Amino acid sequence: MATLTRAHEELFCRGPDEQFASLDSLMTHCRQQRSESQDRWHRREDVCITNDLDVVLGGDPDFRLNDWSFSQLCRMANVSKDTINRLTHETAAKALEETLPLLGKPLQFLTSESLIRSVHRVAYTRLWNDELLNAACEAAPGFQPPQTAMNEATGLCCGEQDMFCFLIDPQGWIEIGGQAFAPGFFVWNSEVGRRTVGIQTFWFQKVCRNHIVWDAVDVVEASRKHTARVRDFLDVTRQTVAQLVEKRDARRDGFARVLERAMREKLGEDAEAVMTQLQKHGIPKDLGKTAIEMARGSNFTIFSLVDALTQLTQKVKYAGDRVELDAKVATLLSLVA
């Protein structure tokens, strides 16, 4: 079984002002943040950086940069942010003015009142936090945050740079082999390009006060960069959550029976036979070898091998490769479906 730490990591990188007590308050904040924001498109020659490091956009003066938009501007200028920070404001402004490239296409500035939230080139496509939350929550009625963490955080977070939401179904518990599992998911996004948009669904046994999700099975993850077709991810989110809910509702008993059978039935009598079966299902040899060693004490049951492989795939660096491997691992359960 996998141990999921994404929600745990969020606990220690958020200030109190980024934490929300309820899903309604998070949704309200995201809607307000969107309503107060505006996209402005300006050619590079219509953008001026003043001596106090404010920005003039097309003759409209005194826009302020926050830490994230300042970092983006430095990257566009191909100048180290640390170097710029060591200069006087006048010198820093001159350095940015002289190094920001002249582009054939306009820049995209996301502003909120007089604050610049982000700066992007034309290839970036925005997906609003409230849109993503609506898509996920409409597909998962009854889901709610887990118990509060040790620092009273709820798993509902939104700051200047990104949003994260952790929801479970407290009524969705089922018994599998004498053990209780319930469904849950993480969903995340950034309106300003700080991270990809993504979702991860799972069945879990326990969430501790550090918001570590223990003994997760049936882990499914999808993510996408903020490029031209990012809005298609709203449908991906609805479908992914809907599949989780379908398992909770229509297939609750069947899912339990499959895992119970998987806990009893072997994939093979010895390591060689197990490796043959794993390779038939597209599991890479090196991954299969490690999983076999992990499952040896469980007599190579299908469940123990799926459990071992799920733990190993969580360590795969690239999300696309991880999703592909998870899909192959899931086909092992079809042997007892």
Whether 274 and 144 share a structural domain: no
Strands 197-204 and 213-224: antiparallel
Residues 6+ apart with CB under 8 A from 188: 6, 162, 163, 164, 165, 195, 196, 197, 198, 199
The helix (run of H) or strand (run of E) holding residue 72 is: helix 67-77
Whether 186 and 211 share a structural domain: yes
Whether 218 and 132 share a structural domain: yes
Whether 221 and 102 share a structural domain: no
Q: Pick from 213, 231, 250: which residue ends a domain? A: 250
Residue 176 has a pLDDT of: 59
Whether 195 and 238 share a structural domain: yes
Helix axes 271-280, 285-295, angle to 10 degrees: 140
Whether 167 and 20 share a structural domain: yes
Q: Pick from 120, 137, 161: which residue ends a domain? A: 120
Cα separation, 201 vs 330, in Å, equals 14
Whether 154 and 26 share a structural domain: yes
Cα separation, 271 vs 273, in Å, equals 6
CA separation (Å) from 273 to 269, 284, 289, 292? 6, 15, 12, 11
Residue 250 has a pLDDT of: 59
Task: Specify burial of residue 285 (Cβ count, 10 A radius: 0-12, 13-18, 19+).
Answer: exposed
Q: Model pTM greater than 0.85? A: no
* Domain residue limits at 83: 36-120
DSSP secondary structure of 133-152: HHHHHHHSTT-B--S--TTS
pLDDT in single tens digits along all 337 residues of the chain: 789 999 999 988 888 899 999 999 999 999 999 999 999 999 988 999 998 899 999 888 889 999 999 999 999 999 999 999 999 999 999 999 899 888 788 999 999 999 999 999 999 999 999 999 999 999 998 899 998 888 888 999 999 999 999 999 988 887 655 567 889 999 999 999 999 999 999 999 888 889 999 888 889 999 999 998 999 999 999 999 998 888 777 556 666 677 788 888 999 999 999 999 999 999 999 999 999 999 988 889 998 999 899 888 878 777 667 778 887 888 888 888 6
Number of domains in the chain: 3
DSSP H helical ranges for 160-313? 233-249, 252-264, 271-280, 285-295, 302-313
Helices vs. strands in the chain: H and E counts, helices first: 12, 14
Cα separation, 128 vs 51, in Å, equals 33
Whether 270 and 166 share a structural domain: no
Query: Residue 217: how many CA atoms within 13 Å on its side-chain side?
Result: 24
Q: Pick from 199, 224, 250: which residue ends a domain? A: 250
DSSP type of residue 291: H
Whether 194 and 143 share a structural domain: yes
Residue 92 has a pLDDT of: 93
Helix axes 89-99, 67-77, angle to 10 degrees: 50
Q: Which two tokens stand for residue 130?
A: 């409230």
> 223 near 6, Cβ under 8 Å?
no
Whether 147 and 186 share a structural domain: yes
Give SS3 for 325. Answer: helix
Whether 142 and 290 share a structural domain: no
Whether 67 and 85 share a structural domain: yes
Residue 319 has a pLDDT of: 63
